[in-house]
């Protein structure tokens, strides 16, 4: 694995090193990989909350949303098949 450097302030570097030791990571790379995964999960959860909020606002259940998706996929497939 090739390595590169990234520029961070001393304060950020110190905080990263503290977190690395606190949570028992072997390297800063492992810590940063974990932080990336956590951020991706957080982003997914935020999007899920937005979808739930919009569904509540429109009073649509998850089953209704899934059924609408199936209908749209079926229509698209049928239009592709008929061409």
Task: Provide the pLDDT for residue 82.
Answer: 77
CA-CA distance, 26 to 80, in Å (whole number)?
52
pTM of the model: 0.68
pLDDT mean over 4-17: 95
11-51 pLDDT tens trace:
999 999 999 999 999 999 999 999 999 999 999 999 999 99
Residue ranges covered by each domain of the chain: 26-82
Cα 39 to its chain centre, rounded Å, is: 7
Cα 52 to its chain centre, rounded Å, is: 16
Task: Provide the pLDDT for residue 81.
Answer: 83
């Amino acid at each position: 694995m090739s390595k590169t450097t990234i520029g961070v302030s001393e304060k950020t570097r110190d905080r990263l090193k503290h977190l690395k030791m606190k949570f028992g990571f072997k390297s800063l790379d492992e810590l940063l990989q974990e932080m990336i995964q956590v951020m991706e999960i957080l982003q997914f959860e935020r999007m899920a909350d937005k979808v739930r909020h919009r569904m509540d606002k429109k009073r649509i259940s998850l089953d209704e949303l899934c059924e609408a998706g199936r209908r749209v996929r079926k229509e698209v497939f049928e239009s592709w098949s008929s061409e």
